[in-house]
Amino acid sequence: MAQSDIIVAIDVGTTKVCTLVAEARQPGKMSIIGIGNVPSQGIRKGVVVNIEETISSISASLEEAERMAGYPIDSAFISIGGGHISSLNSRGVIAVSRADGEITHEDVARVIEAAQAISLPMNREVLHVLPRNFVVDGQEGVQNPAGMTGVRLEVETHVVNAASSAVRNLAKCVAQTGVEVEEIVMSPLAAAEAVLNQDDKELGVCLLDIGGGSTDIAIFVEGSIWHSTVLPIGSSHITNDLAIGLRVPFAVAEKIKKEAYQPITVFEEGTLFEDVSKNGDSIDLDAYGVEKGGLVARESLNQIVEARLNEIFDMVAKEIKKSGQQGLLAGGVVLTGGGSLLPGISEVAKVNLGLPSRIGKPLNVLGLTDGIESPAFVTPVGLILWGIKAREQRELIRVSPMQMWFTGFGKIRKWVKKSFFP
């Protein structure tokens, strides 16, 4: 197996750092051969707050994955999250350069560059420019205009930007471990690669990746990304609420959240109730190692969890409304991330958002799948799939809009000029 067949993904999250080593397979599939999953240190709400601790966590994850895979890791695709990430839709317009009106790859590169010419503060940078569709002389819905004839070329793009300091600090941490950063990918875009198919995107769907410190949102309409953002709130906030409300250590609260909180089975006028007859009406904190903890009413536990979940989904509802696509999400909501493992959360999302809801799991995963098929590993799996596409597109002789998706536009222009305009 050639080294070029190996793709590595590093998901640097608030609660864990997960490294996956995979062997690329066709078409669009992979086989996991190495896994490194360690608790995260130095990351808060998806942003690096301690360089040394973050480097240590990444190094530990890399060593574990290398040991299992039997391959040294020298490059990787990295995920990034955090509330500093924002997005907007931009439009670029150019005149076709050739006298005969044939649209060249150079024209495609120029129109996308025109679309990313947006005004950003000095402390922010463009992370992704994702072409949604092209317009040739008023004809909309064109996916690849190269070779067509026209005088005016337009493109609709989704531009993701992030705080430069957050991007550079993350890249620095990875570089300090001796690993080259192939590309930094926004977390929800990676997660979408793992759980959504083209039919989902065509139908209209909202992806919610609920991590420890943040909730990633990606809305797809008519097959393309329309809106994306990261909310600075996640499942760890539920744990923190329980720790304060029940007056127990954070680790105990996390255990109670996972084990004692029960699926919500009854809905009445927007209020959530547990099945008391089945689950009991109290929780013994002594059983969780809390000395003289006593009994806590299960209703109190549910109220704490419910309050934070309602807050999260209220923020999500505002983002959906902000996107202007609330009436076009026939595919509903797909929940992923470690937070989606909370019992009953799919029903809570359905009630709060008024949309169909389901839990999304990674698709097309082979090899060491034990545990990786969990929604908690959607982002690193998606990073691998993103990487497979990126490498495939880089190897294509013909430049396409999808290649522009995955590679730097400056590099594309140089390649086009060298290949077609020597």
Of 158, 163, 214, the C-alpha closest to 13 is: 214
- Which residue bears the tokens 């990430």? 85
Distance CA 220, CA 223 (A): 6
Beta-bridge partners for 273 = 266
What are the tokens at 347?
């029903």
Of 33, 34, 39, the C-alpha closest to 17 is: 39
**Amino acid 415: pLDDT:** 43
- Which residue bears the tokens 């064109």? 142
pLDDT in tens, the chain (422 residues): 445 588 999 999 888 999 999 987 665 567 889 999 999 999 988 889 999 999 999 999 999 999 998 889 999 999 998 889 989 899 999 999 888 889 988 888 889 889 888 888 899 999 998 888 899 998 888 888 988 999 999 999 999 999 999 999 999 999 999 999 999 999 999 999 999 988 999 999 999 999 888 899 999 998 889 999 989 899 999 999 999 988 888 988 888 888 887 755 444 444 444 443 344 578 888 787 777 667 888 888 888 998 999 999 999 999 999 888 878 899 999 999 989 989 889 988 999 999 999 999 887 677 666 667 888 899 999 999 898 888 776 665 344 444 444 444 444 444 444 444 44
Amino acid identity, residue 68? M
* Cis status of the peptide bond prior to 27, with omega within 30 of 0: yes
Distance CA 149, CA 146 (A): 9
Phi-psi group of 140: left, alpha or beta (phi > 0 → left; psi -120 to 50 → alpha; rest → beta) = beta
Specify the pTM. Answer: 0.82
CB 280 within 8 A of CB 256: no
Distance CA 9, CA 21 (A): 7
**Amino acid 407: pLDDT:** 45
Of 82, 18, 60, the C-alpha closest to 362 is: 18
Amino acid identity, residue 240? N
Coil vs helix vs strand at 115: helix
**Amino acid 273: pLDDT:** 41
- Which residue bears the tokens 């020298």? 74
Phi-psi group of 156: left, alpha or beta (phi > 0 → left; psi -120 to 50 → alpha; rest → beta) = beta
Q: Which CATH architecture has domain 198-360?
A: 2-Layer Sandwich (3.30)
Name the pairing type of β-strands 6-12 and 75-80.
parallel
Distance CA 167, CA 206 (A): 25
**Amino acid 238: pLDDT:** 93
Q: H/E element holding 37?
A: strand 29-39
Distances (CA, A) of 48 to 165, 167, 354: 9, 9, 35
Q: Could you tell me the residue ranges of all domains in the chain?
A: 198-360
**Amino acid 97: pLDDT:** 86
